[in-house]
Amino acid sequence: MIGFVGAIGGFILDVLARMGVVSRSFLRLVGRLPGALRRPALISEQIHFTGNFSLLIIIVSGLFVGMVLALQGYYTLSQFGAEEKLGQLVALSLLRELGPVVTALLFAGRAGTSLTAEIGLMKAGEQLAAMEMMAVNPIQRVLAPRFWAGLIAMPVLATVFSAIGVIGGYLVGVQLIGVDEGAFWSQMQGNIDVRRDVLNGVLKSFIFGTAVTFTALFQGYEAQPTPEGVSRATTRTVVISSLMVLGLDFILTALMFNK
């Protein structure tokens, strides 16, 4: 019994210690963000790497998600004779939920894993240690520009996802099924609130971008400097980022859309 209680106590202490390490690392990274702004070229290079290279998967996924939403939405709405609400349904679903969440999950899989592997391999190859010995802070030189890039790229990608999703919904709903085009767009325009729906969605994607990018960078920086260690860190990035995005989405949705 004493051993069992001791094991639980040890586990709680480990969790608290881990949370302390993560919090301290986050604050150290945030403390280096202003300094990284002095090198905008490094940030734009990383935006290209994390954002531009994720664009194709975001566009294709957004298109299909919008098309599926229109199919499923039409099936449900038609049972109530409310097919003209299809545009509103597609846009609200994308802007509030699917845009930020699916983009964050895709971003974790595409850019997050890439960031973790890159940082982990730099650590394994002693590149980060070499940088430190050259009196260059790797948190400011390597991690901070990548963090900025994640913060900037995620809302843009989520917006692109939602916009393409709406086009996908239009193609299926209006062009394929035959919902009235005027009703599709006017219902969307009349029932979408910029601050409540659009900006909250952008805010969500910004928060998801922060969580996913930090997780990816932290896992890479803390990875065991071995092939197996980098592989495990990459897996952890996907698992932890995905769970964080879904958990944060529930909390943010409850706070933003609680009426």
Partner 1 sequence: MSNLVEIRDLHFSYGDRPILANLSMDFPRGKLIAVMGGSGSGKTTVLRLIGGQLRPQRGTVTVAGENVHALDTENLYRVRRKMGMLFQFGALFTDLTVFENVAFPLREHTNLPEELIRDLVLMRLNAVGLRNAHALKTGEISGGMARRVALARAVALDPELIMFDEPFAGLDPISMGVTANLIRNLNDALGSTSILVSHDVSETFGIADYVYFMSGGQVVASGTPEELRRSSHPYVKQFVNAEPDGPVPFHYPGKSLAEDLGFGGAR
The nearest distance, CB 185 to partner 1, in angstroms, is: 46
The nearest distance, CB 126 to partner 1, in angstroms, is: 4
Q: What is the CA radius of gyration of the chain?
A: 21
Which pair of tokens denotes residue 108?
A: 């974790």
Residue placing its CB nearer to partner 1 in the complex, 2 or 134: 134
The nearest distance, CB 215 to partner 1, in angstroms, is: 22
**Are the CB atoms for 121 and 255 separated by under 8 Å?**
no
Residue placing its CB nearer to partner 1 in the complex, 122 or 211: 122
DSSP letters along 207-221, please? HHHHHHHHHHHHHHH
Which pair of tokens denotes residue 6?
A: 């001791």
In the complex, which residues of this chain contact partner 1 (CB under 8 A)? 121-122, 125-127, 129-130, 132-137, 141
The nearest distance, CB 50 to partner 1, in angstroms, is: 14
Residue placing its CB nearer to partner 1 in the complex, 134 or 255: 134
Residue placing its CB nearer to partner 1 in the complex, 31 or 182: 31
**Are the CB atoms for 7 and 122 separated by under 8 Å?**
no
**Are the CB atoms for 245 and 158 separated by under 8 Å?**
no
**How many of the other CB atoms lie within 10 Å of CB of 4?**
8
